[in-house]
Structure 1
Amino acid sequence: MKLRKELWFGFTLMALILASIAVVMLRAEAITNGHLGLLMLALIVVAIMLGFPTAFTLMGMGMIFTWLAYERDTGKTLDLMVQSAFKVMSNDVLISIPLFVFMGYLVERANLIEKLFKSLHLAMARVPGSLAVATLFTCAIFATATGIVGAVVTLMGLLALPQMLKSGYDVRLSAGAITAGGCLGILIPPSVLLIVYGATAGVSVVQLYAGAFFPGLMLAGLYIVFVIAVAVVKPGWAPPLAPELRTVRLPLATARFAEGAERALPALLQALKGRRNAEVPTGHLLKQLAIVLLPLMLYAAVAIGAYRVVTAPVVAADTPAAGGLAEIGAADGAREEPGLAEPPSEGLAEPPGSGELAEPPSAAGVTEPPGAAPAATGAVTEPSAASASAAAPRSAPRGYWIGLGTGAVALLAFYALLSFQRLEIFKMLLSSFFPLMTLIMAVLGSIVFGLATPTEAAAVGALGGLLLAAAYRQLSFGVVKESVFLTAKTSAMVCWLFVGSAIFSSAFALLGGQELVEQWVLSLNLSKTEFMLLSQVIIFILGWPLEWTEIIVIFMPIFVPLLDNFGVDPLFFGLLVALNLQTAFLSPPVAMAAFYLKGVSPPHVTLNQIFAGMLPFMGIQIIAIALLYAFPGIGLWLPELLYR
């Protein structure tokens, strides 16, 4: 029987892994527990590649080797299993996983993606490669709202791929845009991968979310730039949209007064006061005018709110510097025992920081009890002056006026270009894009700005998913039942993975495998850059046969203890890993995104064409990793600004 290429690749890789371990063990002077740990690691990878369930393979292999590490003591082995399971189930951070997954399934079933894709590709009709660019935008937004890679790739394969092929797009470019865009949910918050990494590496999920925001946008931006460049260099791969696909039919009431009007706002104002509204209800005109004025009202609200924030007087920062320290010092002096305190006369004769307290210089300090009159005097005189100075409003900084001017220019350009065709597209965006963005900003904003924990924000997101499904009349008992079932299935898989990972990591540590790996890495005398390069290359290669869940739960407990030796921030390392693990869904032969797309694509689209389309986007991922390493501020600026 002739085997397929991917099977030959998998069997060859498994043979290389086993051969490498055999060479290491044969060359060793004596087989130690550390060598058994490396054997366990190799067997885990081979068993997963053969198709055994990851979670139960981890648990089974971990139990067997724990039993060997404990010298065949069954009682200690079972105790370790129970303790590992309890430690995982008592982790509060993991509660957010089922809530985020439930939100994703509800948003998916609200059928927003079709409206979102249609409105985005109409809004970008003049951009080269507009269908592919709209596909990437839709995938990025929808991946942020759902985080479920398979669902995004499948839905976009059903929705966008037929339109791109019908418009003459190259099969490889179309497949690459869909698979790469669908995988953005691995990186862009609220990502389940970041939660799993945070729980495994002991890193704050809140800081990971803040750090992954800009790298995710950067990767999506690189994808879009690549697609536009391909469309410009090779127009045959991404031809412009046909005229009939660019136009939007106007409502009958709007068409009666919109004929010949180039801009919507002046035409609406003229129709309200002129004869052109004779056959159009005034209510319809007012409704259209209110929609047109929404950006202006939003701009005014943001400008006024930002002005109040940047000009608000700062009282808390000034008050302690003036009188607060005197009060604290007096109160502390009153509480201290006489033997530990400085003499009252000396303390009043040499005041700590202000000339006013030196007047009067003498008798008051001797006759008054320590901390009474001086403290009262300081509390009345100096803080009053500080409060008066702090009450004065600050002047707005230059950055505020620059932002205000930029927004005004953008607003003027919006109204100058707003025709009635664009108004209809804007209304479509209002009904598809902005509800999703509101949900996303509510969830991520509450996490990033410290208003809620990830678990609380996930609960808000789940409620928002229910409200969105209800608003679009897609909420039914069947939808909720299916979403709950899929959420339970996904959450159980993740939790069992954590249990298996905890047992495996404990067995690996008991056998001394971690110590053996650490000694080997340190013996190489690597620099920080060399270690980072080696670790990312290993993770990149592991992304070929393994999925991201297996890489995180199996190999991160091995890598993370090594970070302190090289001075690497676990937060920054996690961001690099999240970028790198995009390859787990885009690299053959496992490349699950390719199989998701193949399952819904037309018969003439082959798996090799999909793989070929994904390769350029894998190269872009490598460029994104290099940019993040060269400029760490891309990922670390926001966490440092907000939390450090």
Structure 2
Amino acid sequence: MEFLALILFALVFIALMIGFPVALTLSGVSLLFALVAVQFGWFDMAFLQSIPNRVYSIMSNPTLTAVPLFVFMGIMLEQSKLAEQLLGTMDEVMRGFKGGLGLSVILVGALLAASTGIVGATVVTMGLLALPTMLKQGYCPKLATGTICASGTLGQIIPPSIILILLGDVLSSSYQQAQLNQGIFSPETLSVGDLFIGALFPGMLLVVLYMLYVFTMAMLKPETVPADSNVKHPPGLGKRVINSLIPPLALILLVLGSILGGYATPTEAASLGALGAMLLAAAKNRLNLTMIQTVMRGTLQVTSMIFLIFIGAAFFSLTFRGLGGDELMQEFLMDLPGGVFTAVLIVMVLMFIIGFFLDFIEITYIIVPVVAPILLMMGVDPIWLGIMIAINLQTAFLTPPFGFALFYLRGVTPPSVKTIDIYKGVMPYILIQLSVLVMLAVWPELATWLPSVIYDN
């Protein structure tokens, strides 16, 4: 009967590739498949009868409450024109340096990632603000577009990150399931805060490697990364730097510092972040009723989409498990030659390939719940696994043909920039992300050392 689980997985994947809505595909295909299987005695209805409890647990999950709060915070900051002010100031600071504007884009992308975490808004904003200037200064279109796309995706790994919140929820359930399968009854679990702490070093490593790439290109191929000919710094630059950097840095310290210091849960920190974003908007005289309506409407749309996918994924996971899919995957991964190394390698390669076609949320709620309990049963560290998955899924935003960051940027680029230039431009950054995955595989301490130090103290 286990082969039916593979058929279900294939049908869901085909429906998603055709273009059907994710949430409706996950729930509709799974429910229809389960009802047909019941008629032939291949499926136990008890699995479907537990769906109401699963949906209720999703809607009442306190961890997931952080999702709409962080989305609200990100959209509020985007509407307050934080990126525009940051980019303008950093461009002034970096004038005269080889690749100064490119380095500024990466730094601003990192700051926006730590304060907003919304990839689409960051890529579009940076594309509108930075790309015309980069092209005017003589930057190679491939390098300019690739830098903007890659910088925008930093919001996937640098906390507070929506993907880390979702992964924290899925991996926490997977960790508990793995313990139960081994006959272990322990209150110990994995929290979103664990992933936030574990992601700090890998996220900063990505920023450094991005900047190193731009700097290297400026040295080796100066015709692709020019220096700004206007090296004069306008008067009052120091004051503008303080006014531009202090507010977002204060908000970042408020949100992440409260989590790292153990003063607040991620959900409570998200509440502080949402309030802080409103105060920043008010300080810039941009907070008004129209803006609040726009932010709340955007928050409702994004949150509704995410939670509908949660519910659809609950239908899929219960049906997949009822058909014996989890036992099939467990036998496959545990019987592989090479043990844990081969199992993790195959899972990472599978996620990377599927990332060419599916969004990170779909992968998080289709693939991760199936493979994570098995890998955790094999002794894989949950924090390390979560960061590995997060960086792998970050590449899904960059990999053609369906990388969402590519679509976002294509929508705001001038016709003179070809789509193939965008595709070629992100390739070096994809290789950088894969190299960080290799570094994490060789040195797991990059993700696990800081959490261990904080919790030991």
Bin the TM-score by the shorter chain: over 0.9
Larger deviation: 181-190 or 491-500? 491-500
1:247 matched to which residue of 2? 232
1:605-641 C-alpha deviation (Å, 9 max, x unpaired): 1111000000111001111111111111111111101
2:184 aligns to what? none
Aligned pair partner of 1:62 in 2, 5, 30 = 30
CA distance in 1, matches of 2:327, 2:192: 27
Q: What are the equivalent positions in structure 2 for 1:190-209 lying under 5 Å apart?
A: 190-202=160-172, 203-209=190-196
Equivalent residue for 2:11?
A: 43
Q: Between the two proteins, what is the percent identity of the paired residues?
A: 40
Match in the other structure for 1:544: 356
Partner of 2:304: 492
SS in 2 for 1:582: helix
TM-score (norm 2): 0.93
CA distance in 1, matches of 2:298, 2:376: 39
TM-score by length of structure 1 reads 0.66
Which residue identity is paired with 2:62? D
Counterparts in 2 of 1:37 and 1:134: CA distance versus 1, 3 Å: same
Tell me which of 163, 169, 182 is aligned to 2:139.
169
The 1-side partners of 2:204 and 2:114 are apart by 11
Q: Measure, in 2, the Cα distance between the counterparts of 1:532 and 1:78.
A: 31
Deviation (angstroms), 1:78: 5.5
Q: Report if the CA contact (8 A) 2:199-2:387 is conserved.
A: yes
Q: Residues 75, 624 of structure 1: CA spacing in aligned structure 2 closer, same or farther, 3 A cutoff?
A: closer
CA deviation digits over 1:203-252, x for unaligned, max 9? 31010000001110101110000000001100000111022xx33443xx
For 2:171 and 2:313, the matched residues in 1 are separated by: 12
Offset at 1:84? 2.0
Q: Which runs of 5+ in 2 are unaligned?
A: 173-189
Aligned partners of 1:66 and 1:77 also within 8 Å? no
Cα offsets for 1:267-290 (capped at 9, x unmatched): xxxxxxxxxxxxxxxxxxxxxxxx
- Which residue matches 1:237? 224
User: How far apart are 1:498 and its partner, in Å?
Assistant: 1.1
Change (3 A) 1:603 1:447: same
Looking at structure 2, the residues matched to 76 and 552 of structure 1 have their Cα atoms a distance apart, in angstroms, of 25
| 1:234-383 matches, cutoff 5 A | 234-243=221-230, 246-250=231-235
Instruction: Tell me whether 1:451 sits opposite 2:280 in the alignment.
Output: no
Counterpart CA distance in 2 for 1:480 and 1:224 is: 36
> In the TM superposition, what is the alpha-carbon distance from 1:67 to its structure 2 partner?
2.6
Partner of 2:181: none
Alpha-carbon offset, residue 81 of structure 1: 2.7
- Work out whether residues 31 and 319 of structure 2, in 8 Å CA contact, stay in contact via their aligned partners in 1: yes
Larger mean CA deviation between 495-504 and 176-185 belongs to 495-504
Contact 2:115 2:160 in 1 (8 A): yes
Q: 1:432 aligns with which of 244, 267, 288?
A: 244
Shift of residue 528 of structure 1? 2.1
Q: Distance in 2 between matches of 1:519 and 1:115?
A: 54
Q: Contact between 1:67 and 1:77, CA under 8 Å: does it hold in 2?
A: no
Deviation at 1:49, TM superposition (A): 1.1
- Residue 198 of structure 2 corresponds to 211
Which of the numbers 471, 479, 501 marks the counterpart of 2:283? 471
Q: Aligned pair 1:142/2:143, yes or no?
A: no
Partner of 2:187: none
Q: Does 1:81 align with 2:12?
A: no
* Distance in 2, Cα, partners of 1:549 & 1:433: 31
Is the CA contact (8 Å cut-off) linking 2:142 and 2:421 kept in structure 1?
A: yes
What is the CA distance between 1:123 and its match in structure 2?
A: 1.4
2-structure distance, mates of 1:66, 1:535: 26
Counterpart CA distance in 1 for 2:391 and 2:341 is 17
SS at match of 1:474: coil
Does the aligned pair in 2 maintain the 1:70–1:76 contact within 8 Å?
Answer: no
Q: Does 1:131 align with 2:101?
A: yes
Cα deviation, 1:559-611, whole Å, max 9, x if unaligned, reads 11111343101211010011111111000110111111111111111111000
In the alignment, is the contact (CA less than 8 A) between 1:69 and 1:510 conserved in 2?
Answer: no
Letter in 1 for 2:5: G
Q: Give the aligned length.
A: 437
The reply to whether residue 528 of structure 1 matches residue 361 of structure 2 is no
The one-letter code of the counterpart of 2:206 is L
* Aligned residue identity for 2:134: M
Matched residue, 1:635: 447
| 1:80–1:503 CA contact under 8 A, matched in 2 | no
How big is each residue's C-alpha offset from its partner over 1:272-326, in whole Å with a ceiling of 9 and x where there is no partner? xxxxxxxxxxxxxxxxxxxxxxxxxxxxxxxxxxxxxxxxxxxxxxxxxxxxxxx
How big is the shift at 1:542? 1.0
Question: What amino acid does structure 2 have at the position aligned with 1:460?
Answer: L
Would you say 1:554 and 2:359 are equivalent positions?
A: no
Q: List per-residue Cα deviations over 1:522-546 (Å, max 9, x = no partner).
A: 2223322222221111111111001
In 2, the alpha carbon distance for the partners of 1:449 and 1:491 equals: 28
Partner of 2:83: 113
Aligned to 1:383: none
In structure 2, how many angstroms separate the alpha carbons of the residues matched to 1:112 and 1:50?
Answer: 38
Contact 2:336 2:342 (C-alpha < 8 Å) held by counterparts: no
The residue type paired with residue 51 of structure 1 is G
> C-alpha separation between the residues in 2 aligned to 1:435 and 1:509?
48
1:68 positional shift: 4.2
1:86 and 1:68 mapped to 2: Cα distance? 25
Tell me, in whole angstroms, the C-alpha distance in 2 between the residues paired with 1:476 and 1:634: 43
Counterpart of 1:160 in structure 2 is 130
- The alpha carbon displacement at 1:61 in A equals 1.7
- Give the Cα–Cα distance (whole angstroms) in 2 for the partners of residues 565 and 475 of structure 1: 50
Q: Paired residue for 2:319?
A: 507
8 Å contact 1:63–1:77 — kept in the other structure? Answer: no
Distance 1:93 1:66 in 2: 30
The letter of the residue matching 2:171 is A
Aligned counterpart for 1:227 among listed residues 214, 217, 227: 214
2:381 pairs, out of 547, 569, 577, with: 569
Offset at residue 75 of structure 1 (A): 7.1
Letter in 1 for 2:337: N
8 A contact 1:67–1:74 mirrored in 2: no
1:69–1:89 CA distance, 2 compared to 1 (3 A): farther
Structure-1 separation of matches of 2:3 and 2:340: 27
- CA–CA distance in structure 2, aligned partners of residues 214 and 162 of structure 1: 32
- Structure 1 SS opposite 2:223: coil
Contact 1:70 1:77 in 2 (8 A): no
Distance (Å, rounded) in 2 between the aligned partners of 1:158 and 1:51 = 28
User: Residues of 2 paired with 1:585 and 1:162: CA distance?
Assistant: 22
Q: Unaligned regions of 5+ residues in structure 1, if any?
A: 1-31, 251-423
Conserved in 2, the CA contact under 8 Å of 1:193 and 1:578?
yes
Give 1:83 shift: 1.9
The aligned counterpart of 1:267 is: none
